[in-house]
Amino acid sequence: MRWDSEERRSGGHREHSIDDMGTKIIYFTVNGRPEQAEFPVDCPAQSLKDLFRSAAEAGPHDILKLYNPKGNIINISPALEPNAPNSCYKLEVVAADCNSEPLGILGLKVKRGILGDFERKLQSLEKKILIEAGETPAIVYEMKKQVDSFREKLESVEHLSWLGLFKDLSEGAHKPSPFYHKRALHKTREECEHVRETFLEMSSLQVSEEVRQYLKTPTFDNWQWEDAEIMVLLQVMYTDLDFTASFNIEAEVLQHFLFEVYRHYNNIPFHNFKHCFCVTQMMYGLIWLTDLRNKMESVDLLIMLTSAVCHDLDHAGYNNAYQINARTELALRYNDISPLENHHCAVAFEILEKTESNIFRNLAVDQYKRIREGIIKCILATDMTRHNEILNKFKSILPAFDFNNKEHRDVLMMILIKVSDISNEARPMEVAEPWLDCLLQEFYNQSDVEKLEGLPVTPFMDRDKVTKPSSQTGFIRFVLLPLFIELANLFPCLEQHIIHPVRKALDYYTEMEKALERESQNWAQSENAAKAKETAADGHADDAASASKPDQ
């Protein structure tokens, strides 16, 4: 019995999934890596699970899930349907042993899992009894068996929402699932140091005029740049908008600030440092494209750019609905009112509280106050539950928009950060599409955890309910276009830069949706045809059987 990664395989894929020796071959991917498992059809279930565990490099107590190509969870058992290399299953470690290291979310430690706790207690009990009595009593074996059987159930049941029943109702009840380990959320010290050193080495180099101009357009491709380079590009934005000169921001302080910002974005699929950069770069592009430097005060532009930089600081990959439903520390702290956005903002001002990273340290108290008020307003405006409120306010002032009116400017600033925040689809398809994959990865992860914890599952995050095109067509039609069109009403020059590409994206995903529908119809038809053939064959067999029976 063995598993093989593609690199390790000497020959190509085999044609059949069960060979003449009664060996089954299952093709699957783990962390995007193609693997194949070979095992005798009559092998014990536990051995097969261990095989998959080793392929996933999972520990004995980690929880694995296997998905078929349709995205449904399937049981890891010797009865697994053999498959072909082009219809791989997907193996995921959905929950890792909580005992290996403490969990961390948003910098706060959470309690270990009850299953892990129980096992730990059992182990220590067993050790004590062994020392005192010299042997493990049957009752301890029985309890260990029960824990194993519980874990077994977790791995094989399709819908795990009943797990809510097992939630610890005492201390730690508001914490994330005890069965889910949020892996490597924070950047390591080594990772940060490496990026900081590279950034500092590069920051004295000149960025070419060509890159400086490219940086002002929504066609900019973030995927071509490393994190340290991205930090240099952010520095360029502050200098090219003359902020460093106008607000007396020392190069060293700006670098320190940008490094702290980098450090406080987490290693998660979507709301990470690259997203921070994209949002800031879109804001920067909008400032240049709409010639805002000649329409608004420099301090307002500084507020907008810095808000974009800080707007998702320390995001852990779980949205406000999750925070509120799971009664996390953040929801408790902010009384369910935009917990995430309040947190991002608070982290921003923690960074700015430190003299060495306070880019506003040379400003007068009144100006600092104005900037703080502006940043808070902008970051809090990124809570999508306030979308209609803010858009309607903008629509109501648009017919008589006045750049000299503070209230009008404030609403415009909120609209600009909102547009920048959700603007991926305004970018070229090869830049935008990977972002959607990242977002869905983060959404699916949240809904998996919601299922594990027995919390309400947000429908547009449910891997069983949404596809790439279905998630995007509604969003573009009902959220993106109505918002972008209003901004283009104020700045008609934006039509070609943000509306055209978004319409193109809508066409692209509408076509993809149709193709998927056709494919599933074809699949259903061939399934029905196969069933009909089977039924007919059964009928013939019955006829033949009754014909061959002697008369009674």
Instruction: Catalog residues that contact Zn ion under the rule CB under 5 A.
Output: 312, 421
Select the binding partner of residue 475 from Zn ion, ligand 0WF, none (C-beta < 5 to 8 A, by kind): ligand 0WF
Chain residues binding ligand 0WF by CB under 6 A are 384, 422, 424-425, 436, 439, 460, 471-472, 474-475, 478-479
Residue 422 contact among ligand 0WF, Zn ion, none, beta carbon within 5 to 8 Å by kind? ligand 0WF
Closer CB to ligand 0WF, residue 410 or residue 425? Answer: 425
Smallest distance, Zn ion to C-beta of residue 275, A: 6
Residue 36 or residue 424: which is nearer to ligand 0WF going by CB? 424
Cα torsion 389, 268, 29, 435: sign:
positive
Instruction: Give the integer Cα–Cα distance in Å for 201 and 30.
Output: 37
Which residue is it, tokens 């969003």? 475
The gap from C-alpha 113 to its chain's centroid, in whole angstroms, comes to 23
DSSP 8-class letter at 292? G
CB atoms within 10 A of CB 162: 11
Which DSSP string do the residues of 515-539 spell out, in sequence order?
HHHHHHHHHHHHHHHHHHHHHHHHH
**Beta carbon of residue 449, minimum distance to ligand 0WF (angstroms, whole number):** 16
Choose from Zn ion, ligand 0WF, none: what does 312 bind? Cβ within 5-8 Å by kind.
Zn ion
Amino acid present at 104: G
5 phi and psi, to 5 degrees?
A: -90, 160
Q: Which residues contact 292 (CB under 8 A, 6 or more apart)?
A: 286, 301
**155 contact choice in ligand 0WF, Zn ion, none (CB below 5 to 8 Å, kind-dependent):** none
Cβ closer to Zn ion: 312 or 442? 312
Helices (H), 311-428: 320-325, 329-333, 339-353, 365-380, 387-397, 406-421
- Give whichever of 370 and 504 is closer to ligand 0WF, judged by the CB atom: 504
Identity of the residue, 307 or 471, whose beta carbon is nearer to ligand 0WF in the bound complex: 471
13 given a catalytic annotation: no
In the bound complex, what is the minimum distance in angstroms from residue 159's beta carbon to Zn ion? 31
Smallest distance from the beta carbon of 138 to ligand 0WF, in angstroms?
53
DSSP secondary structure letters along 171-186: TTTTSSPTT---TT-S
Q: Helix crossing, 500-548 with 468-475: angle to 10°?
A: 140
Catalytic position from the list 271, 275, 343, 344: 271
**Which CB sits closer to ligand 0WF, 179 or 509?**
509
**CB 547, min distance to ligand 0WF, A:** 59
Report the nearest approach of ligand 0WF to the CB of residue 475 (Å): 4
Q: Which does 445 bind (CB under 5 to 8 A by kind): Zn ion, ligand 0WF, none?
A: none
Instruction: Return the one option of ligand 0WF, Zn ion, none that residue 36 interacts with (CB less than 5 to 8 A, by type).
Output: none
- Asked if 257 contacts 351 with a C-beta cutoff of 8 angstroms, the reply is yes
Inter-CA distances, 158 with 88, 161, 240, 287, Å: 19, 9, 54, 49
Q: Which residues are catalytic?
A: 271
